[in-house]
A = this chain, B = another copy of it.
């Protein structure tokens, strides 16, 4: 087995993923854990990390660089990292975190912010850096579906503008906490219902809150099963987002970073408006972005 040179960590709100890499940037080992930022108090981050990587660093003779991105750098995380203002190249900035252990040298990536209209991202900037690391002269738009979906414009290696949408969180709240929970079976997917809902939302986006109640009313009026209502809800919300992001996707190349079913829904919705987006894997892009950050670290530290 080749020798460990550094460790990459994607440390999100609910989960974390870790990679051990050698001097050529090849993955020696990897693991994941559900010890996300939201589950840890400030003084639990270091012991949690050490616990997980102990087998990797046990033989280390000098501090192993650990490059982390994501909500670990939020105010509620291990240590709050600044947001760099766009336009800028993403994810080549990070800051050192003091540790008790001398086996590791931890750096956490900064987020990105936009002053007007106000917006922030933390974690996605590293995925975007991964896209730019893989396609250096990419000029176009990237969509990062999730709890708070991000759309960003990229030009000459920089993020020039971005916008976040609460689509994912609103879907979750409506499906689980609203009156619609009685009318939605999330496992009963229907492409036809999804497609129809995307079109309706794109055509008359202002009707959204009325359409949502309609999902409940339909099942009461017809005393009918709730087939496809989850697909319809998803279509309404993604269609609404496409109505708002038209200037992003209409005349630009679009890449979607995401491996989940959700990324597939965005891909399908865009295809309905004649747009073929490139689907990129989240983990691959995250690791590529952390690698870009590690290369910057090496430059700074003359490694």
Taking Cβ atoms with an 8 Å cutoff, the residues of A that contact B are 83, 113-115, 117-120, 148, 163-167, 169-170, 173-174, 177-179, 204-210, 212-214, 216-218, 220-222, 237, 240-241, 243-244
Contacts and interface: CB of A to CB of B under 8 A. Distances in A.
A52 to B, nearest CB: 27
A119 B215 CA distance: 9
B169 A222 contact: no
Given A179-B169, A206-B205, A214-B117, A221 B83 contact: yes
A116 to B, nearest CB: 9
Q: How many copies does the complex hold?
A: 2
Interface centre among A148, A174, A217 (most CB of B within 10 A): A217
Given A120-B217, A221-B113, A221-B119, A210 B163 contact: yes
Contact of A221 (B120, B170, B174, B222): B120
B213 A165 contact: yes
Contact of A222 (B118, B206, B240): B118
A204 B240 CA distance: 12
A237 B222 CA distance: 28
Nearest to A169: B178
A243 to B, nearest CB: 4
B115 A210 contact: no
Contacts of A177: 173, 177
A170 B214 contact: no
A166 B148 contact: no
A230 B240 CA distance: 23
